[in-house]
A and B are shown apart, each in its own frame.
Chain A
Amino acid sequence: MRDDNNHKEMLILRGEGVSDGVAFGNAFVFRAEQYVVNEEFFEPGNEDDFVQEWEDARHTAQVELDKVFSVLDNVSGEGRAILDVHKSILFDEEIEEMVETAIREEKVVPASAVSRVFDIFISIVGDSSDPLIAERAADLRDVRDRLLRILRGESSSDLSHLPENTILVANDLLPSDAAMLEKGKVAAIVNESGSATAHLAILARGYRIPTVLSVPKATVLINNGEHLIVDGHDGIVVVNPDEAIGSAYADKKSQFDKKTALENEYQDRKGLLRDGTTVHIGINIGDDREDPGYSSCDFVGLFRTEFLYMDSQQLPTEQQQFDVYRRVLELAGDKPVTLRTLDIGGDKQLPYMSLPEEMNPFLGKRALRLCFEEMDMFKTQLRAALRASVFGKLKIMFPMVASVDDVRHAKSVLEAVKKDLDDEGCPYDPHVPIGIMIEVPSIAAIADLVVTEVDFASIGTNDLCQYLCATDRDNAEIREYYQSFSPAMFRTLHSIVTAFNAAGKEISICGEMAADPLATKVLVGLGLRYLSMNSASTAKIKMELAQFTLEDAEDVASAVMFLKTQKDIVEYLSSV
């Protein structure tokens, strides 16, 4: 074995990043005791003593939990709520009765009784069809393990005095253990089990500790004291990083830290120019997680629905889609949510559907074109969306529209679905606004004609640029030809925005350009008042908006209209 740290082999592990941030530190490997409890019996006659032992254990557990509470005093309400749940489990009357019965009637020692009774409920709760409820099995295990440890006469595993820059690597870190972690000492958490909705994840986000969960065999592959880098955003753990990776992550960390400082400043503000003009800030979402950043936005400009189709082994049913759409609408509350119908094509394969292999998938049978072909699939999605519409403010948007024919075709399908729902007496919001993505040049060129056919539109700048410049944006070889700041892009944006504003219809941007502060001024100057982006970018865009007035923006936009190359435009925008 080589013992020189510099020569240890680098290893990259992957898991689910649940709490954002980058951390450097040294591994502290913590394997929670796996209490294997065999059924153990005692001689009849000592029932009262054993029942007393069980009651004492519960009392001790309560004292421990109270201690955790006092540590949590300055933590978010979430942490307290978690411990309320633990106390409720600890004093559950059904568990109490079953454990006592096992001790008194069956002469089972307390540890065996606790293990047996808790395991029954752990498996019932863990099997719940609702993932949020199934996660609560972790809390039952937490309370069970606490009781078993106390019954063995061991004191609590103390994670509250770890050295600085410790990265805790655990197999099954309990939420109550995590609650005891000293903030500022633990640089990151890596855990073998768990997912984004686990209490552990919620606590980690509350403490702002970068965290990666569900990293298989982490405690086996990582040794105590090994140098680690944890990327809580992308869910990556680097063991014994080499210099190149180390410096790449040092950059990422400093960017993240800067971003965090900014976010604290601007996160919860509205999008306002220096002169008070409002710019509505939206977020793009791609799943139904609980909080993608609803509190710091005005609307959801793009709800991608592909995950429903990609993450499963068969076409999602109407009910599955309905549940997800309803959940998103309810989580978003009074904020409008723009659902984009399935946008998929030959570049991505679905395991249960054979999509044609095409020479040019981005110019092929994708998105709306595929939906027109697979009418049942399309109608199922529209039915689910319309049925969910009564639970929030839904808008429906069609991708890859290339002509007015496409718009009319899609709308006629929607009308047919509405009629079916009417016939079945199924409730839906009849006034759901219908819009299109503007990403194909042939529709961008006739924005003034298509505007009368729709309620709103959103410009997908990534695809628009790719089609306008005839450049595959994923091909690194030709990156220089993908010019999102080209004069052609801004002129195209100008004509679209002008047509929609003149008609009094909402026009937004949901592509990457909306998240680029360099473009913000010119976009506002062109007349855009709705910018939708990934939620990580809202703070920096809000900050950028606060730097200029509408007059500044309009001057910049007019000037850009007459610049002849992307280079000129970028240079000009960087200078103003």
Chain B
Amino acid sequence: MICRMTEIVNPSGLHGRPAAQLVEAAKRYQSKLTIRNVTERGEPVNAKSIVRILGLSASKGKTVELCADGEDEIQAIEDLITLIDSGFDEI
């Protein structure tokens, strides 16, 4: 299993569309993927579920930790972190 942290940079945070995009990307991987709101000391939740991601309250400026466990874990983490860091085309 590997984990990496990053900061939410898009202005509106992991709300509607960015959350949907993240889920869509996560579902492309076999690995078990979780995401956690580090800033608010939240529990890790399923990163392939939009309702869980919305429940994170991961607004801009919050730090999140992504963990992947499975055969394609390295690729999955790379991909999702890149997506979050890109700001979901909002910036």
* Nearest CB in chain B: distance from A285 CB, A: 15
Distance of A12 Cα from B61 Cα, bound (Å) = 42
Distance of A199 Cα from B20 Cα, bound (Å) = 15
A320 located at the interface, meaning its Cβ lies under 8 Å from any Cβ of chain B in the complex: no
**How many residue pairs at the A-B interface have CB separations less than 8 Å?**
79
Contact assessment for B57 and A92 in the assembled complex, using a CB-CB cutoff below 8 Å: no
Interface size on B, residues (CB 8 A): 23
Convert B7-22 into 0s and 1s, putting 1 for each residue whose CB lies closer than 8 angstroms to a CB of A: 0000111111101100
- B window 24-78: CB within 8 A of A: 24, 46, 48-52, 54-55, 57, 59-61
B23 located at the interface, meaning its Cβ lies under 8 Å from any Cβ of chain A in the complex: yes
Q: Which residues of the other chain, A, contact B13 by a CB distance below 8 angstroms?
A: 130, 132-133
- A window 73-106: CB within 8 A of B: 81-82, 84-85, 87-89, 92-95
Convert A325-360 into 0s and 1s, putting 1 for each residue whose CB lies closer than 8 angstroms to a CB of B: 011001100000000000000000000000000000
Stretch at the interface among A121-129, A232-240, A417-425, A436-444: A121-129
Contact assessment for B54 and A95 in the assembled complex, using a CB-CB cutoff below 8 Å: no
Q: Which residues of the other chain, B, contact A128 by a CB distance below 8 angstroms?
A: 54-55, 57
Interface centre among A124, A130, A327 (most CB of B within 10 A): A130
Q: Which residues of the other chain, A, contact B15 by a CB distance below 8 angstroms?
A: 130, 132-133, 135-136
Distance of A422 Cα from B55 Cα, bound (Å) = 37
In addition to A87-B20, A132-B13, A136-B19, 18 A-B residue pairs with Cβ atoms within 8 Å of each other are: A88-B20, A88-B50, A89-B51, A92-B51, A93-B46, A93-B48, A94-B51, A121-B51, A125-B55, A130-B57, A133-B57, A133-B59, A135-B15, A136-B54, A290-B11, A330-B11, A330-B60, A331-B11
Q: Which residues of the other chain, B, contact A94 by a CB distance below 8 angstroms?
A: 46, 49, 51-52
Distance of A93 Cα from B34 Cα, bound (Å) = 13
Report A's interface with B, CB cutoff 8 A. 81-82, 84-85, 87-89, 92-95, 121, 124-125, 128-130, 132-133, 135-136, 139-140, 199, 290, 323, 326-327, 330-331
Q: Which residues of the other chain, B, contact A95 by a CB distance below 8 angstroms?
A: 49, 51
* Nearest CB in chain A: distance from B34 CB, A: 12
Q: Which residues of the other chain, B, contact A139 by a CB distance below 8 angstroms?
A: 16
Q: Which residues of the other chain, B, contact A88 by a CB distance below 8 angstroms?
A: 19-20, 23-24, 50
Contact assessment for A92 and B49 in the assembled complex, using a CB-CB cutoff below 8 Å: yes
* Nearest CB in chain A: distance from B24 CB, A: 7
Q: Which residues of the other chain, B, contact A92 by a CB distance below 8 angstroms?
A: 23, 49-51
Residue of B nearest to A81 (CB): B17
Contact of A130 among B20, B48, B49, B59 (CB under 8 A): B59
